[in-house]
Amino acid sequence: MPAFSRFLELAADQSGGLVNYSNFAAETGVASKTIREYYQVLEDTLVAFAVPPYTRSARKRLTTHPIYHLFDLGVCNALAGRLPMQPTRGTAVYGRLFEEFVVLELKRLLAYRELDWPVHYWRTAHGAEVDVILETGRGLWAVEIKSGAAIRPAELSGLRSFRDDHAGARLVCVGDLDRPFKLGDIECLPWRTFFDEVGG
């Protein structure tokens, strides 16, 4: 139980990020195989879900580990010891929590609407990444999530890299924005607008 308890803290802290099983094993004192089994327990009990990588690329070497998300931000913050703090916009913690919020609400919306649209992430071995790849009934969407007050073109290089391999994909940046706008062929949408379009 002490090892599993420590694992829960780490899993909450790393929710939404790539898992390093070896680091978890060193922190908890159990084998990497056991860490994988712990994650399976979380999935089986609906405490967490896995987002697999999108690997349909003939050109790029891709990261192939799943990303795990705990089912609720409040539970995640409690386990990680973050409840007393108030995340400040512009910090790394705020950005991670905003990204988690969007992913969790997207999964809930798809379930409520009974939309069987697979959710993936995309990341190459060279560091190009996109937070969400959504296989919709209306084509492939590549979705980057940004929490800043402004979105700069340089922050969207992952979407452009994905477009190079997947012509025709809809490129979307979801943010805490006042209004929608475009940066070239990338649509920048307030998170509420994004959810309206997914569910519409």
- Tell me if the pTM is above 0.85: yes
CB atoms near residue 147 (< 10 Å): 22
User: Which tens digits make up the pLDDT trace of 175-195?
Assistant: 999 999 999 999 999 999 999
- For residue 155, what is the DSSP state? G
Dig out the tokens for 46 from the structure. 């609906």
Q: Please name the residue that has the structure tokens 């909450």.
A: 12
Architecture of domain 2-199: Orthogonal Bundle (1.10)
Task: Specify burial of residue 165 (Cβ count, 10 A radius: 0-12, 13-18, 19+).
Answer: middle
Task: Report whether 70 contacts 48 (CB < 8 A).
Answer: yes
Domain positions in the chain: 2-199
User: Which tens digits make up the pLDDT trace of 103-159?
Assistant: 999 999 999 999 999 999 999 878 889 999 999 988 999 999 999 878 988 899 999
Task: Specify burial of residue 32 (Cβ count, 10 A radius: 0-12, 13-18, 19+).
Answer: middle
